[in-house]
Each structure stands twice: as structure tokens, then as C-alpha cells.
Amino acid sequence: MTRAEFRERIAQGVLVADGALGTMLALRGVPAPYELANLTHPEIVRALHREYYEAGARLIETNTYYANRVRLLNLPERGSELPPAYSLLEQFGSPETLVERINRVGAQLAREAVGADALVFGAVGPVGKPLEPLGDMRLEEAEHAFEEQMRALIEGGVDGFILETFIDPRELQLAIGVARCLAPDSPIIASKGFVEDGETLMDGLPERFAEQIQALDVDAIGGNCIVGPQRMLDIVRMMAGATELPISTMPTPGLPQLVRGQVVYDIHPDYFGKYAARLVEAGASIVGGCCGTTPDHTRAIAQQVRHLKTKRATTISSVRTRERTPQEELPTAEPSRIAGLLGKERIITVELDLPRGLKIQKVIEGARLLKQHGVHMIDISDGARARLRMNVIATSHLVQRDAGIEVMMHFACRDRNLLAIQSDLLGAHALGIRNVLAITGDPAQIGDYPTATSVFDVDAVGLVRILRRFNEGRDLAGNSIGVYANFTIAAAYNPLAPDQDAEDERLRRKIDEGAHLIYTQPLFEMALVERTAELLRKLGTPWFVGVLPLRSARHAEFMHNEVPGISIPEPILQRMADAPEDSALQVGLEIAQAFVREADPYAQGLYLMPPAGSAQIALRVLEALER
């Protein structure tokens, strides 16, 4: 099908789309991931396509939403079972062959099941991992995954593509580019998942999405999944006010609930069909269903819209971007005191270790003592080495409130998905925490609970971007957060990384994404200090040099041999080894004091990590600056 033929088809009347294949496959006893059913249960997939067609659907989506190499073949965490797709690799020989076969057969099954009056569109969803810089999925890897999947769908005979349930506009833009390159004259429907949230609508997100995507040479835009028909009606109305392109809408049948471990939707098909007519009246040209919808819902849609006419069928060249009322300027939150001092005076920050459990009074007392002696800030780690400690947000808030000193809150990606990361950071900001050190975090298997699941939806680079987005007044989905947040964004740098070129490039990415300040690992050599100072001078970013006082020969050996990113020169190791046990700490203090005096002129601040979180040891090191 050509793009012109697609527009003509839309002009003839409402195009009814099918419903949820995954829901129906689950009801038929087929295990997830359901895309594998194209090879393992082809007769069931073919029968379901036929059921939707007989119910009135004339836009049939292939059973390929998750059928890209990232979703299907992503390596699991150590100790967990291999994804089901791996069991098929023995039969097909390579990931490329498996992905190609699932998509090509998926298109063929849909085509075989329906009449000549039906359109078969290749269903393509997000790759399944956040793209850089939010995550570690490189753009070229995602592009390759899209190309591999779409090329197979074309070979299977699809009429066009429906790119659906995308959240990240950059990823959708990437997918559109691949589809248009592979099939220049095939129709493309670009569809976003909008959250069930009235503020999303008040903020005009559907309008902004329509305006942004219509410029990318697509043939229809829309929304699918997540929200039910009532909220989808509001979304369609807003899109209709921002574009003249055909609008596609595929809501869920309301909100789901868990029943005996299964996700269940219970909106009656009649209600769903009535809202389908309202969606068309609001401007939709393509109406179908998403998760939870069945052929009964499709039948109800077809009955309700069969006599309705569509309001729009246009070419991209005729689309006009409508002028919108400028968004209300947001207030700006108060910044941290540290933000005003960066680059103007030397800043001293001390990391205090948290004990297990609830007793953190010693930490608060240590913070008070350090403040009295001129320390500017306290660093609180976030479950370092995957050890169980009190929540870092609560601890940081208590230290700031009870000790009266600002905290640099370390924030790890390990334990939080994208939703929790943003939720926790908003909560921290509301509690007055303004300084955040973005870290990826140590994997759970090295800590107190080795069987716990590490999340790592994003890494430290992605976390920096999230913080920057909050400072711009929006979350990752583009929704307003009500104010311009005012986080001081810090990031870590290891001058002793195994691959220093890669570490330097990662540093540049963190700064490009919005990092205001850089922390180093503990350093012991001036050559590393000088190199780091020169690099960050060129990058125009202030930095704090990490200083770790050694307390014993055993401590020095452990840090040098067992902690990644730390290297202690042989003369220092020998000096600690030669020191009597009762005076080893004094020797370690002398080494740290000499290093502080020498490194101080090169950095904008000192980041002290005293053993056992001892405030007294930190103050002993700082005596070197007084002298």
C-alpha cells in the first residue's frame, strides 16, 4: 500500500483496528513472550487474527510488538533463567535468523488470516532499554534493532508500520527514520503511550507530541495503551487541535486489576463501543484497542462507527502547525548554598558512613562538629557496596534538619526503576535536598542480599539527564513538574579506570548532559591530580579531589588490592607497612595531610572519606590547610 492509497482509505470511513493479541494468547494458554508464538503456535496466532477480522477489524497488527533482538534476546542477570527465545536459537542458529523469522512469519500469518480488504501493519514497539544517555543502549544499536525487525516485516508483506506505545520521543523519531528509509512510500502510524494523569493533559503534552511528530513525515499520529477510553477522548481532542493528520486511538478497556496473579480488565464491550463513536466525533480516524481488548470489543467498535465519517485525511505537506498559547512560566526553586560557592572558594565536604539500622545520632553529631570547624557539606552514600543502610533521602533530610549543614546526597540507580528514580528525586527536592551525586551503584550480588534484583534502568549518565530535565521543569515524559527544580548535579570520575579513554569520554557525556561538579575517586598521586585538573579545566567544570586517610597497613592493602578504581603507590604502601601498629593511623594522617597541601591548589574542593566515617579524623587531615 502506498501513502496515497492509505489516505484514500482513511477518507472513505473510519478504519477499525484490532485489539490485544497478547491478552488473547494468554487466555489460550500461550506463554510469554507472545511474539514467539509466531513460530511455536502459528495456528493460534492465525486464528486470532481471523477472529479480529471477522469481528470487523480492517487494520490488523502483526504479532511482533516486542520482536526485536533487544527485547527477545537480552542476556539475563547472573543466576536467572535464560529467556524463552534462547531455546529457539538452537533451531535457527543465530539471533539474526530468529528475529528475521519471527517477524517475517508474523506478517505472513496475519496476511493469510484476513481478507484482501484488510490492511496488515507491522507492529513495532520500543527496543526495550533506555537509550543513551539515559541508559547504555547506544543509538546505533537501537537503530540496528529497528532495521532488522522492519526489514523482515517488509519481506513478510506488511502494508505499513504502526510504531506504538513509545514514551521517549527520540526513540520514536529514530524508529520513524528507519521505517521511512526502508519503505519510502509506505504509511507510518506513530503512536505514544500517555499516562493516566490529568496533569498530563493540563500541561498540553498531547498537543506538543502532535506538533513534534507531525514534522517527521508520518501519515497518522495517535495514542495507545495505558489509558482507557474516557481519558483517551481528552487526548484525541487535544491532538485534533494541534494537527490535521489522521489520528489513531487504541485505548485499553479501563484500568487493570490483578486477579489470582493475572491482569484483568472488566470494561464491557458496549461501553467501549460507545466511546469509540465519541473518539471519532472528537477527530479520530483509526479506532481500535490495546491491552485487555478482545474481539468482542472490536465488534462493538465496528457496530458503533460503521456509519460515521472521518474528519481528516491529509498529506503531511498540507499540515499547518497551529500557534499555541505560551506555557505559563514556572517558578524557580531555591538553589543550594554550595551552588553559589562553586568556583568562588574552596569547598570542603566529608563523607560520613551510615551504621546499620536506625541509630544515626552519631552521624548527626559528627556533621554538627564538622560544621563548627568550617566544613561546607556532608556526603551521604546510597547503599555503597550494596550494604543495607537507611534510605539516603531520609538520612540526608535528617542531617540537614538536625545538624544545619547541607548534604551531598549520593543517589544510585541500582535499586530503582525509571518511575522510582523520578519519584524519589521529586521527594528529595521537596524535602530541601538540592545536591545530588549521580552514581550507577554497585551490583546487588556483592552486598548483603546477593539474590536481590539490580534494576539499572539507567546509569549515572542517564541520571544526570533526569536531574537536568527536572531543572528544566519537566520529567522524562515531558510533563511539567510545577517548578524549575534547582539541583546541583555532581558526577563521579575515576582517573584510574581500566579503560581511561572510555572513562574520559563518559566524563564528557556526564558534563554534556548537565553535571555541574565532578568528584574523583580517592587519589594518592600528584600526577593524577595534575592530569585531572587539566582535563576539567578544558571541560570548564569544577571538581573535588578525593582524599582517603589510611588507618593501617591492612587498610591500605585492602583499598589497593580489592577496591576497584583505587591505586596506592608502592612507597605509601611500604610506609604504612613499616609503621608500628599503634602509630599507623598517625602515619596515614601525615600522608593525607601532605597530599591535601599539595593537591589543594589544583581543585575547587576537597572530598574527604575518613575511615569509619570519623569526623575527628577528617578534622585532623584539615589541620594541614590551617598550617
Strands (E), 314-398: 347-351, 377-380
> Among all chains, which residue has been given the C-alpha cell 556526603?
379
Strands (E), 467-581: 488-493, 517-522, 543-547
**In this predicted structure, what is the pLDDT of residue 197?**
54
**In this predicted structure, what is the pLDDT of residue 365?**
97
Position 321 confidence tier, pLDDT thresholds 50, 70, 90: very low
3-state SS class at 140:
helix
Question: Does 84 score more than 90 pLDDT?
Answer: no
Q: Which residues does 291 contact at the CB level (< 8 Å), separation at least 6?
A: 20, 22, 23, 225, 252, 256, 263, 265
Using alpha carbons, select from 275, 268, 273, 271 the residue that is nearest to residue 236.
Answer: 275
β 119-124/160-166 pair status: parallel
Using alpha carbons, select from 447, 388, 442, 449 the residue that is nearest to residue 413.
Answer: 442
Whole-number Cα distances in Å, 284 to 160, 287, 309: 19, 7, 10
Position 251 confidence tier, pLDDT thresholds 50, 70, 90: very high
Question: Does 268 score more than 70 pLDDT?
Answer: yes
Give tens-digit pLDDT for 497-511.
Answer: 989 999 999 999 999
β 605-608/347-351 pair status: parallel
Give tens-digit pLDDT for 194-216.
Answer: 875 555 565 678 998 999 999 99
Domains belonging to the chain, first-starting first, are 3-318 (3.20.20.330), 346-493 (3.20.20.220)
Measured distance CA(173)–CA(425) in Å, rounded: 28
**In this predicted structure, what is the pLDDT of residue 258?**
53
Are 220 and 237 contacting, i.e. CB atoms less than 8 angstroms apart? no
Average pLDDT over residues 312-327: 46
Q: Which residues does 48 contact at the CB level (< 8 Å), separation at least 6?
A: 21, 24, 25, 28
Most confident of 246-255, 337-346, 571-580: 571-580
Angle formed by the axes of helices 460-471 and 500-513, to 10°?
10
Sign of CA dihedral 332, 421, 390, 564: negative
Give tens-digit pLDDT for 123-154.
Answer: 999 999 888 877 778 999 999 999 999 999 99
DSSP lists the bridge partners of residue 379 as 351, 408
Give tens-digit pLDDT for 412-456.
Answer: 999 999 999 999 999 999 999 999 999 998 888 777 888 788 888
Q: Tell me the whole-structure pTM to 2 decimals.
A: 0.72
Measured distance CA(342)–CA(345) in Å, rounded: 7
